[in-house]
Structure 1
Amino acid sequence: MPRRSYDQYCAAARALDSVGDRWTLLIVRELLAGPRRYTDLHADLPGVSTDMLATRLKDMERDGLATRRRLGAPAAVYVYELTARGRELLPVLVALGEWGAADLGARRATDAVRAHWLALPLLGQLERLGEAGVVEVRVDEGVFHLRLGEEPGYGDGAVAQGAFDVRLTLDAEVCGAVARGEVGVVDAARAGRVAVLGDGALAKRLRAVGG
């Protein structure tokens, strides 16, 4: 099926030609964490039908945002991953999340949640500290990692078990406040509302009251 277009000579309209369809940016959010199998993508995108997910992935391959490849033995399974063009959407999603935080409100009974969905607001805030390193984040729903520095990102790819510069542990109350934009994770850490484990420069910046 040919790609639909707004047929407007505007960069924003051209961008929406590629990523404006329902589910596309959320698939990007998942793939920013690293290569994912189709079944894993479907599990972490509650509400998407199998047909819709397959269609969107094909659209993303067509538009040069994602690729599909087969892993070597012993896994021998297909995974989807972002291209360099697709990875350039990270700051777009960080900014979109910051803009949408005010509308998040209290969690509804029907709302799904995954630990790594908190990665986007945390990454945007921690990057502003200007320190490189790996951050392990522990929340009630699970554990994920952030990479700060020249190639920021999140996920557990290329992060060895136990290899982190600082560990942050957030309870449900702080998680919700950070997600809604009511408090920054740095301010929460300096106020003692986030447990900080580590001795390096990044950990010291997070403990430094007054910056």
Structure 2
Amino acid sequence: MSPRRSYDQYCSAARALDLVGDRWTLLIVRELLAGPRRYTDLHADLPGVSTDVLASRLKDMERDGLTTRRRLPPPGAAYVYELTGRGRELLPVLQALGAWGSSALGERRATDAVRAHWFALPLLRGLDGCAAGLVEVGLEEGRFHVWVGAEDGPVYGEGAAPESPDVRLSIDAATCGALGRGELSLRDAVRQRRVEVEGDGALAKELREG
């Protein structure tokens, strides 16, 4: 494990960057907001990161109290990485960073990788202030689900919801891009019928009524 580099500045922003300022660290946090992940799953959903760098970042994050590693019981018997409470406190940091960067997103480039669940955090920003609930989202790239108002545990997950969701949203590629770039709010997209809402619960009703 390499020694931690530091800016050696008595400033909270500098101290924060000592911990999370290295390349890939915050994107690892993004992936672990989905709950425990195996190393192979993390590597698959972080295209472009080398195995050496990923292993080094995970060790640094464990040392700094942002993540823990544990072995799953049989028949899994694999190691998984997960965020500590301290690591999960980075959710609003990632949300603020994503909102700030939305105007720089632009149109998707031919070289850009994409995963459906990368839209989970922008969607949660669009659902801020809504009733708590489980939302399943269908995009052209795949499905994911998010827990609105979750105070602990996973923030989102890949694939279909693990139980009956409070609402299902279907979003086409053009609308998804506009939402991600901040050109369109989720409520406006629902009002314009660019997002299909299925469900009868409080959250579905709130989205339909805007």
In the other structure, the counterpart of 1:160 is 162
Following TM superposition, the consecutive aligned residue runs of length 4 or more in structure 1 with deviations greater than 3 angstroms are none
Give the direction of change, closer, same or farther, for the CA distance of 1:42–1:197 in structure 2 (3 Å limit): same
Q: What's the C-alpha RMSD, in Å, of the aligned pairs? A: 1.3
In the other structure, the counterpart of 2:55 is 54
Structure 1 residue 179, shift from structure 2 partner:
0.8
CA distance in 1, matches of 2:162, 2:51: 32
In the other structure, the counterpart of 2:138 is 138
In the other structure, the counterpart of 1:151 is 151
What pairs with 1:171-190 in structure 2 (closer than 5 Å)?
Answer: 171-190=172-191
Find the residue that maps to 1:195 and give its secondary structure. strand
CA contact (8 A) 2:133 2:147 kept: yes
In the other structure, the counterpart of 2:70 is 69
CA contact (8 A) 2:143 2:158 kept: no
Query: How many pairs were matched up?
Result: 206
Q: Which amino acid aligns with 1:143?
A: R
- CA offsets 1:28-82 (integer angstroms, 9 cap, x no match): 0000011111001000000000000000000000100001100001111001110
Find the residue that maps to 1:53 and give its secondary structure. helix
Structure 1 residue 125, shift from structure 2 partner:
1.5
Q: Which amino acid aligns with 2:98?
A: G
Where structure 1 has 5 or more consecutive residues not aligned to the other structure, the ranges are: none
Percent identity (aligned)? 72
CA contact (8 A) 2:168 2:197 kept: yes
CA distance in 2, matches of 1:47, 1:176: 22
CA distance in 1, matches of 2:16, 2:157: 25
Structure 1 residue 186, shift from structure 2 partner:
1.9
In the other structure, the counterpart of 2:120 is 119
Structure 1 residue 201, shift from structure 2 partner:
0.9
Is 1:32 the counterpart of 2:48? The answer is no
CA distance in 1, matches of 2:186, 2:198: 14
Structure 1 residue 170, shift from structure 2 partner:
0.3
Where structure 2 has 5 or more consecutive residues not aligned to the other structure, the ranges are: none
Find the residue that maps to 1:155 and give its secondary structure. strand
TM-score by length of 1: 0.94
Structure 1 residue 150, shift from structure 2 partner:
4.5
Give the direction of change, closer, same or farther, for the CA distance of 1:49–1:10 in structure 2 (3 Å limit): same
TM-score by length of 2: 0.95
Find the residue that maps to 2:82 and give its secondary structure. strand
Is 1:194 the counterpart of 2:189? The answer is no
Structure 1 residue 2, shift from structure 2 partner:
1.5
